C-alpha cells in the first residue's frame, strides 16, 4: 500500500487526578478521583489504568504519536483478560470508511490494475494491495442492509467473503492510518466526528444542452 501521509488523531487525557480514596483504614477497596470541571469521577483500578495510559508511557520514543490504538495496546499489556476497546454499557462501535474512491489505474491499455486511488480532502491515497482495497470497500455497509450494525466483526466477515486472508490486520492498520474510523453511537465523541468529517453527495444528473447530452454535477 502506498499512501500520502494522513495526519493521525492524537489521544489526549482530560481531567485532573487528585488522589486515591480508601473508604476505611487498611481497606483494600479503593477508587481514584479525577476532576473534570465541576464533576468528580470515581474510577476503579482498571479504568484509572486506561486513563493514566492516555498520558503516554515513559518508554516510548519522543517522536512517536500517542494514538488510541497505541494506548489500547499498552492497556492490554497491563490489563490481561480485560477488553480495553469499549465500554460494556455502550453500543458496539461502528466502522466507517474515510475517503472517496477515484478509480483504478492501469499502466497500459489491457494491463491489469496497478492500484486503486482514494481521495481524502486534498490528499491522494493509492492502495496497491487488492486485499487492502477489498477491506476498505467492505467497510461500506451494503444498501440492502439498512438496519445492519456495521461494526468491526461485520467488516471483517464481509472482507473474508471478498477473499481477504487476514482482514483484522488490515482493519487495524487502516484505523491507525485514518482510512477507517470507529465511532460509538451513544458516545460524546460523535460530535467530534461530525466536526472532523463531511459527507458530500456525488450524485449527477443528465440533461440536454442544445442537441448534445451532457452530465453535470448536482448542486
Question: CA geometry: angle at 58 spanning 54 and 59, to 5°?
Answer: 115
Per-residue pLDDT of 113-144, as tens digits, reads: 999 999 888 888 999 999 999 999 999 998 88
Q: How far is CA 23 from CA 5, 20, 138, 159, 164, in A?
A: 50, 10, 50, 50, 53
What domains sit in the chain, N to C, each tagged with a CATH number? 16-78 (no CATH), 92-196 (3.90.930)
> How much is the pTM?
0.54
8 Å CB contact between 95 and 171: yes
The pLDDT, as a whole number, for residue 148 is 80
Cα(172)–Cα(187) distance, integer angstroms: 21
Helix (H, G, I), strand (E, B) or coil at 31: strand
Q: What distance, in Å, lies between the first and last C-alpha atoms of the chain?
A: 34
User: Among 1-15, 131-145, 148-162, where is mean pLDDT lowest?
Assistant: 1-15
User: Among 30-39, 41-50, 90-99, where is mean pLDDT lowest?
Assistant: 90-99
pLDDT surpasses 60 at 42:
yes
Amino acid at each position: 500500500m502506498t499512501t500520502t501521509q494522513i495526519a493521525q488523531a492524537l489521544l489526549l487525557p482530560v481531567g485532573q487526578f487528585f488522589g486515591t480514596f480508601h473508604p476505611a483504614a487498611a481497606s483494600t477497596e479503593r477508587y481514584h478521583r479525577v476532576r473534570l470541571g465541576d464533576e468528580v469521577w470515581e474510577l476503579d483500578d482498571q479504568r484509572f489504568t486506561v486513563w493514566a495510559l492516555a498520558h503516554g508511557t515513559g518508554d516510548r520514543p519522543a517522536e512517536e504519536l500517542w494514538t488510541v490504538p497505541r494506548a489500547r495496546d499498552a492497556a492490554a499489556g497491563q490489563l490481561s483478560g480485560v477488553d480495553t476497546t469499549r465500554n460494556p454499557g455502550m453500543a458496539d462501535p461502528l466502522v466507517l470508511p474515510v475517503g472517496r474512491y477515484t478509480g483504478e489505474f492501469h499502466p497500459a491499455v489491457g494491463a491489469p490494475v496497478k492500484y486503486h486511488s482514494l481521495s481524502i480532502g486534498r490528499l491522494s491515497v493509492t492502495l496497491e494491495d487488492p486485499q487492502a482495497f477489498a477491506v476498505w470497500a467492505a467497510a461500506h455497509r451494503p444498501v440492502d442492509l439498512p438496519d445492519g450494525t456495521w461494526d468491526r466483526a461485520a467488516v471483517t466477515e464481509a472482507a473474508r467473503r471478498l477473499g481477504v486472508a487476514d482482514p483484522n490486520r488490515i482493519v487495524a492498520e487502516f484505523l491507525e492510518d485514518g482510512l477507517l474510523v470507529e465511532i460509538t453511537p451513544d458516545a460524546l465523541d460523535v460530535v467530534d466526528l461530525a466536526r472532523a468529517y463531511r459527507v458530500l453527495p456525488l450524485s449527477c444528473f443528465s440533461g440536454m444542452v442544445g442537441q448534445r447530452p451532457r452530465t453535470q454535477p448536482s448542486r
